[in-house]
């Protein structure tokens, strides 16, 4: 029973932290270099990692580099993102540049929403389909994000496995009894290693509309229940206030040894008091566990499903707080990034610290470096706005509206 925690901010520090964490759990890595390895990040929405929403590309890149250096070559990044994006035929994998990152490292990408389902048991005799890729992998690494969640309290290791469910129909089955079914999912789908993105976390109204908070941490371990308990403590929460951990404790999956480990773990200088995930009155009423199944019965009627897919009604759901995401169809078109030398602060290394590929963005921009994957991390973190975007913002305009100043401040 062990959790490894490393401080990290820049790409170099992340790479060092990843190496140390994998070194601590080296014995769980597959012996064969031909092993099929699955990386399962959290790609909940098209809001990137700097908002606190999704798994940081720098962490994924550092793990890919580590595994490739060890000789593993059958690696796939797989995720079945939020069902609303799936329903609206929006590729979060593409928007977050996961596909371009994968091409850079020569690894595969799999949309788990479109995978072949393998049935597992949920509450009340319900069966739900998990992506076959998860079960066919020889080694599975879960890469969740530390963030609050307005329905269960927090989303870390346990909640991240919902992205393994195939398509909207299977994902919505969890909400018949959310905390119980998340635990059911974790009892039947078991990644061998969890590496948690606590670099830029999210507090408040997560998992999508919260506020980014700087933690500067990476955590690793093999026990998802223990890891979620540690993350709850880091966020200043009582672990048993998190509904998934309550459910796990009631089943005996969390015992005395877990509490003793967490209570004696030295977290000095690592903890931050997160704001609780409090939804508005309407959303709190509708999404309450005792009422949600009735809401879902209405929501999933043919008329409401059609209405929810329309731009106007969808926007109304977003503004009311009943929907966390704003499904914008307009794609971003990046023509180029430009560098304004007069604005650049001498000695500032923010853009380089945040580039997932380890490029110097200023030099890359000047030279037209084709390795750039267009993730916009350098553009988003530059404190003096010396890096400018040229093209059509599309969906990215909404992220800038909500998070531009916050991201530059937090990062």
365-395 tens-digit pLDDT = 999 899 999 999 999 999 999 999 999 999 9
- Which of the two residues, 209 and 181, has the higher pLDDT score? 181
Q: Can you give the pLDDT at residue 319?
A: 61
Write down all domains in the chain, each with its CATH number in brackets: 3-279 (3.40.50.11440), 333-392 (3.30.70)
Q: How far apart are CA 72 and CA 90, in angstroms?
A: 31
Query: Residue 301: pLDDT above 80?
Result: no
Q: For 86-114, write each residue's pLDDT tens digit.
A: 888 899 999 999 999 999 999 999 999 99
d(CA 325, CA 53): 11
DSSP secondary structure string for all residues of 353-404: HH-TT---HHHHHHHT-TT-----HHHHH-TT--EEEEEE-TTHHHHHHHHH
Instruction: Summarize the confidence of residues 324-347 as an average pLDDT.
Output: 89
Determine what percent of the chain falls in helix, strand and coil, rounding each to the nearest 5: 45, 20, 35
**Peptide linkage before 207 cis (omega within 30 of 0):** yes
Contact, 63 vs 141, CB < 8 A? yes
pLDDT at 288 over 60: no
Count other C-beta atoms under 10 Å from residue 338's C-beta.
Answer: 13
pLDDT tops 90 at residue 308: no
Q: Binning pLDDT at 50, 70 and 90, where does residue 159 land?
A: very high
CB 83 within 8 A of CB 171: yes
Residue 285 has pLDDT above 90, yes or no: no
* C-alpha closest to that of 228 among 292, 164, 173, 182: 182
Q: How many Cα neighbours within 13 Å face the side chain of 178?
A: 22
Predicted TM-score of the model (pTM): 0.92
Q: Give which of 374, 5, 405, 71 is closest to 215, Cα–Cα.
A: 5
pLDDT in tens, 41-92: 999 999 999 999 999 999 999 999 999 999 999 999 999 987 788 888 899 9
Instruction: List, in sequence order, every residue forming a beta bridge with 139; answer none if it has no partner.
Output: 37
Q: CB-based contacts of 323: which residues, under 8 Å, 6+ apart?
A: 84, 308, 314, 317
Give the per-residue pLDDT at 343: 92
pLDDT at 1: 83
């Amino acid at each position: 029973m062990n959790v490894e925690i490393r401080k990290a901010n820049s790409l170099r520090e992340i790479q060092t932290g990843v190496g140390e964490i994998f070194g601590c759990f080296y014995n769980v890595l597959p012996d064969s270099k031909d092993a099929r390895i699955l990386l399962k990040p959290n790609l909940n929405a098209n809001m990137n990692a700097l908002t606190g929403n999704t798994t940081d590309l720098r962490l994924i890149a550092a793990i890919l580099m580590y595994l490739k250096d060890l000789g593993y070559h059958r690696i796939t990044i797989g995720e079945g993102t939020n069902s609303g994006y799936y329903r609206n035929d929006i590729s979060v994998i593409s928007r977050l540049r996961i596909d371009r990152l994968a091409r850079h490292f020569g690894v595969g990408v799999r949309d788990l929403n479109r995978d072949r389902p393998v049935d597992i048991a949920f509450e009340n005799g319900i069966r739900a389909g998990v992506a076959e890729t998860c079960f066919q992998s020889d080694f599975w690494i879960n890469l969740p994000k530390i963030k609050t969640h307005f329905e269960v309290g927090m989303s870390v290791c346990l909640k991240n496995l919902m992205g393994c469910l195939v398509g909207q129909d299977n994902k919505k089955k969890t909400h018949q009894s959310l905390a119980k079914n998340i635990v059911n999912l974790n009892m039947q789908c078991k990644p061998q290693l969890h590496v948690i993105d606590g670099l830029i976390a999210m507090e408040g109204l997560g998992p999508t509309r919260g506020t980014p908070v700087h933690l500067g941490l990476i955590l690793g371990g093999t026990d998802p229940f223990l890891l979620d308990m540690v993350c709850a403590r880091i966020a200043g929460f009582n672990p048993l206030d998190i509904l998934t951990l309550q459910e796990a404790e009631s089943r005996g999956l969390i015992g005395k040894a877990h509490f003793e480990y967490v209570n004696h773990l030295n977290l000095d200088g690592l903890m931050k008091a997160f704001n609780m995930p409090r939804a508005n009155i309407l959303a709190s009423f509708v999404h309450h566990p005792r009422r949600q199944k009735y809401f879902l019965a209405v929501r999933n009627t043919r008329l409401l499903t059609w209405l929810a897919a329309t731009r106007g009604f969808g926007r109304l759901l977003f503004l009311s707080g009943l929907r966390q995401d704003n499904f914008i169809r307009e794609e971003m078109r990046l023509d180029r990034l430009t560098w304004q030398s007069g604005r650049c602060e001498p000695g500032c290394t923010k853009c380089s610290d945040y580039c997932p590929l380890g490029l110097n963005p200023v030099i890359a921009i000047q030279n037209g470096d084709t390795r750039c994957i267009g993730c916009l991390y350098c553009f988003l973190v530059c404190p003096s706005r010396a890096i400018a975007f040229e093209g059509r913002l599309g969906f990215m305009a909404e992220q800038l509206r909500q998070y531009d100043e916050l991201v530059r401040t937090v990062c």
